[in-house]
Amino acid sequence: MFQIFKERALDAFKTHGAFSGSELMTDDPGQAALFYGLLFGWSFDHMDLPGGNYLVVKVGETAVAGMMDWGCYVIVDDVDATLSRCQALGGTVLSPGMDIPRAGRMACIRDPHGAAINIITYLPKNE
């Protein structure tokens, strides 16, 4: 999904606790895609996910980011174990672990103070 990021760093997509990728947060991804496509010349691939439509932002043929109504991602060694730990620490699971084709497994959590963030474990590069 974020091939450009995978090519820049050695094991960045396997480092537990590291931030990963960039996504534009918007309540109207379709209108944002129209605006930024015209502004920057971006193109978009649509990916249907269990939580809704996801827009893969492309510069030329290279996927560089995403656009949706979700947020940032933090890499974890194991999504399901992290969800359990989050709940044990008083956090809330906003969306349970789900498998994302060609990307990995992700979920969304909220800390006890109300901040939300996504967690992800990426597939190995060859899968």
Q: To the nearest whole number, what is the mean pLDDT of the chain? A: 82
Confidence of residue 99 (pLDDT cuts 50, 70, 90): very high
pLDDT in tens, 24-72: 777 788 888 999 899 889 999 988 776 677 888 888 888 888 887 767 7
pLDDT at 122: 92
Architecture of domain 72-127: Roll (3.10)
- Quick check: 8 pLDDT over 60? no
Q: In this structure, what DSSP letter does residue 4 have? A: H
Domain segments of the chain as ranges: 72-127
Residue type, 112: P
pLDDT at 5: 46
Q: CA-to-CA distance for 107 and 95, rounded, in angstroms? A: 5
Q: CA-to-CA distance for 61 and 40, rounded, in angstroms? A: 14
